[in-house]
Amino acid sequence: MPLAMNSSLEGKTARLELSGELDGNSAPSVRQEVEKILGASPDRLVMVVDRLTFMASAGLRILIFAKQRQPGLKIYMVQPQPTIVDTLKKTGFYDGVYVVDSEDIDKAAAG
Amino acid sequence: MDEQTFPGTLDSLEGVRDYVARAAGQAGFDRGKIYNLCLAVDEIVTNIVLHGYEEAGLSGDITLRADLDADEFVIRVEDHGKPYDPNAHRMPHPDDLSLPLEDRAIGGLGIMLAMDAVDDLQYDATAAGNVHRFIVKLPHANAATSPGRQS
């Protein structure tokens, strides 16, 4: 399934919704979008990925890129599918991002 | 399953995963295993396209073939790019995996995921082409060779 994405910025929180498949072919456009988002220096990047059905290591490299560009950035992944959680855990990325159930980050953090 | 040939370009990745998913589904694997096999083949095919073909200034095809016998399921991937043995790649050290993301190395993750998904990843570079073989032992084959098995 082709990748679709949508981004927005509210205050210091950037939102990036991804659906479909994130592979080596689609990753450059996502990286470009992340680069654009980081231009606004957000504190938080909320990635809504509940409809992301595939993520290759190219997706992991985008997370590294974002953190290298802006080390203080907090990255949230909202409702990743179990297969993607598995990839995050195997590669040690699970501890480098906040995996949350709700897009309402403040509420999720409080819960 | 009949072999299928794809152009050695990144826009073939979706078709490659579809092929692997169909073959692994026919072999009876569960959803998680099918996903991991798709991920494994996707990672290696991505490397073939980027490093074996594009970086080397070459172009060519990638041919997949799935075989199932009583003991194992095998996905064979053949290409004609610059040879590279994934088994020669240095895997991330366990300590590397707990580093903050900003300190992580960019490379090595794909091959690590590919190797994790299979029981064996074999590679041969011959004059006729490079061949990766992704091998998954079938559960009953593992049981038959496990030391504690009682008949």
Asked if residue B108 is part of any domain, the answer here is: yes
Within a 10 A sphere around the Cβ of A11, how many other Cβ atoms? 9
ipTM above 0.95, yes or no: no
> Which chain B residues are closer than 8 Å to A93 by Cβ?
101
Q: What angle do CA B81, B59, B109 make, to 5 degrees?
A: 55
Asked if residue B151 is part of any domain, the answer here is: no
For A59, phi and psi rounded to 5 degrees? -70, -40
A38 interface with B at CB cutoff 8 Å = no
Among A57, A67, A93, beta carbon nearest to B43 = A57
Residue B105: the pLDDT is 75
Instruction: Indicate the range of A7-11, A85-89, A101-105, B85-89 predicted with least confidence.
Output: A101-105
Domain count, chain B: 1
Indicate the average pLDDT of chain A: 93
Residue A7 pLDDT > 60, yes or no?
A: yes
pLDDT digits (tens, 9 = 90+) for B39-55: 999 999 999 999 999 99
Residue A99 pLDDT > 80, yes or no?
A: yes
Domains defined for chain A, CATH in brackets: 4-101 (3.30.750.24)
> The domain that contains B79 carries what CATH number?
3.30.565.10
CA distance to partner chain B, nearest, from residue A6 (Å):
21
> Which chain B residues are closer than 8 Å to A87 by Cβ?
39, 113
What domain range is B69 assigned to?
4-145
For the residues of B101-129, what is the DSSP string, one character each?
GGGS-SSSHHHHHHHHHSSEEEEEEETTE
Q: Among residues B38, B59, B51, which one has the least CA distance to residue B85?
A: B51
Buried/exposed B6-33: b ≥16 CB within 10 Å, e otherwise: bebebebbbebbebbbebbeebebeeeb
